[in-house]
Amino acid sequence: MTDKHLQHVFPKASRYDPAWVRKHSMGENVLLNLESLTKSLHLKPGMRVLDLGCGKAISSIFLAKEFGVTVWAVDEAISASANYERILQEGCEDKVIPIEADARSLPFADEYFDAIIVVDSYTYFGTDEKYLPYIARFLKPDGHIALVDVCFTKEIETLEQVPEFLKEDYQNYWYFIHAIDWWRKLWEKTGLVQIQEACQLAEAALVRNEYIRDYAEEKKPDPFAKALQLDNEGFITFFKLIGRRTQKTAYLQSYKASPKK
């Protein structure tokens, strides 16, 4: 891909130093994923955004700079201090608040956020059927939850259906990856969000090629890059899922986790 093509498809993300973005992306190029996702969102200055599983928080910095939103950058494994240093270096300390917390135990008030954005992190916690009912409480009515992540083009229901090239690694790295329809049903059946988008990223091929290129340069073993290289038929791809919060109250079996109303 030429730099010109990249700039055309990702005008915002390509303004950032590629070496800085690569260094601080924990999977695919986080800013390409995020810019693709934000094309479907209507973020406005002053909105409150939760960047969940933000990793090294460059997605939060991007959201603050590009859209003027205030971002709570939450990750359980990357320290708030390390992220705060990056936030300071980028002059975003008034707009980005770093927090070290588990996505399953968040310190926020109900109905606090206009949007919850999750880049390449939702599969770590969000395959639990009770996760959307948990996280939905933090969204304002009509607020959006939006994620971008890796998916399969076809759901794998049994081990016999695992494609040959994935067999060796499937039970370690891939058993929690699903097709878009699986995600759509997981969210739809709760009634807590109305699905606005559930589709492959229009830019999936670019995201994929950039990832393979970045990791070829790194020369580190990476099961994800390995699978993408072996995947001649495009079985693995990238998707976005966006839901708008409905009026329905979330019911959780856990007494402690029920909305405090």
Residues that bind ligand SAM (CB under 6 A): 25-27, 30, 53-55, 59, 75-78, 102-104, 119-121, 124-125
* Nearer Cβ to ligand SAM (26/162): 26
CB of 77 to ligand SAM, least distance (A): 3
Nearer to ligand SAM by Cβ, of 84 and 188: the residue is: 84
Minimum distance between the CB of residue 160 and ligand SAM, rounded to whole angstroms? 29
CB of 161 to ligand SAM, least distance (A): 25
Q: In whole angstroms, how close is the CB of 203 to ligand SAM at the nearest point?
A: 15
**Nearest residue to ligand SAM on Cβ basis:** 55
Distance CA 80, CA 87 (A): 10
Closer of 182 and 224 to ligand SAM (Cβ): 224
Indicate the residue among 12 and 246 with the shorter CB distance to ligand SAM.
12
